[in-house]
Amino acid sequence: MRIETQHRITAALFVLALASVLSPTAGAADAAAPDWVAPFADRVHDAWRDGTPMPQLSAAYPEASLAEAYLVQKHFVARRMKPDGIGGFKAAGVASTAPDHPLVAVMPASGVLHAKDKIVIDLAGDPRRHVENEIGYVFHRPVTEPPADVEALRRCVKAVVAVVEVPGGAVEEAGPSTTNDIVAWNINAKEMILGGERDPAAVDPDAVTITCTRDGETVNTARGDLAAGGQWHTLLKTVNRVLQQGYTVQPGQVITNGALGKITPAAPGRYRADYGPLGVIEFEVR
């Protein structure tokens, strides 16, 4: 009887250990999460899954903190993707100098696309897509603790890449969207298109100029240095924010440093985004 009980205890401990490995959200902070966080995150997930508007945190819990919004995001992400389904991370609000910026979210591996594959974005299932011009960084070393400085961070980066992000997802509009809403929705992370990889030592991302056209008409122009403090400084802040949420950056994952210039609604047509030394990304929206 004692042996059987010991086996049950061992099995239970194994299940708990396995759960902590499979969940990118495991951590002491989650134990202190308010009891409304998980049910609300389930509502966000189910709405995302069903293609219905994701509920607004600011409407349901107007007193919630930004930290609690990130807990909602983490529960949502845990249901949406497993650790081997994380393709990278995205930043938002990179032009802001506010201490809580940039905001961060998790990008599914299935959403990391490559320009060489001739990408077509179909609006039939999600008409509320947007086009964002960004600069991304592919890692070849893991980052499990805050880098000492930008130079330490640079040693972890394999390549700089042009990025066109195409976020999406219907959202509730009970009132104006707040920072907490955006974070809880995982910043609408859905898909991003990567250009060819470039040696970080050969490209100054702050000097990159971007011109994006749709059917030959310019829809956005931007420069890499629109990110507050510069691209590498922004990446350092983004990586540290990702680590704060209980994740690590793994080899092969990409971090996109947030929208530069205008964020434009995705409309049918042929897009061409010229990033100068980072190359060109072409894709179609139908």
pLDDT surpasses 90 at 53? yes
Residue 21 belongs to a domain: no
Residues 6+ apart with CB under 8 A from 63: none
The per-residue pLDDT for range 94-123, each reduced to its tens digit, is 998 888 889 999 999 999 999 999 999 999
Residue 147 belongs to a domain: yes
pLDDT surpasses 90 at 17? no
pLDDT surpasses 90 at 155? yes
CATH assignment of the domain containing 147: 3.90.850.10
Residue 99 belongs to a domain: yes
Burial (CB < 10 A; 0-12, 13-18, 19+), residue 196, is middle
Task: Identify the band that residue 30 occupies on the pLDDT scale cut at 50, 70 and 90.
Answer: low
pLDDT surpasses 60 at 71? yes
Task: Identify the band that residue 281 occupies on the pLDDT scale cut at 50, 70 and 90.
Answer: very high
Residue 170 belongs to a domain: yes
Residue 37 belongs to a domain: no
Q: What is the pLDDT of residue 19?
A: 36
Residue 41 belongs to a domain: no
Q: What is the pLDDT of residue 33?
A: 85
Q: CA–CA separation, 132 vs 197, rounded Å? A: 19
Q: CA–CA separation, 199 vs 254, rounded Å? A: 14
| CA nearest to 25, candidates 282, 271, 283, 245 | 245
**pTM of this structure:** 0.87
In which domain, by residue range, is 280 found? 84-285
The per-residue pLDDT for range 188-228, each reduced to its tens digit, is 999 999 999 999 999 999 999 999 999 999 999 999 999 99
Q: CA–CA separation, 236 vs 230, rounded Å? A: 10
Higher pLDDT, 32 or 192: 192
- Written as six digits, the tokens of 107 are 């990008």
Residue 139 belongs to a domain: yes
What is the number of structural domains in the chain? Answer: 1
To 5 degrees, how large is the angle CA 94–CA 167–CA 68? 65
pLDDT surpasses 90 at 129? yes
Residue 197 belongs to a domain: yes
Q: CA–CA separation, 105 vs 152, rounded Å? A: 23
| CA nearest to 216, candidates 269, 253, 260 | 269
pLDDT surpasses 50 at 178? yes
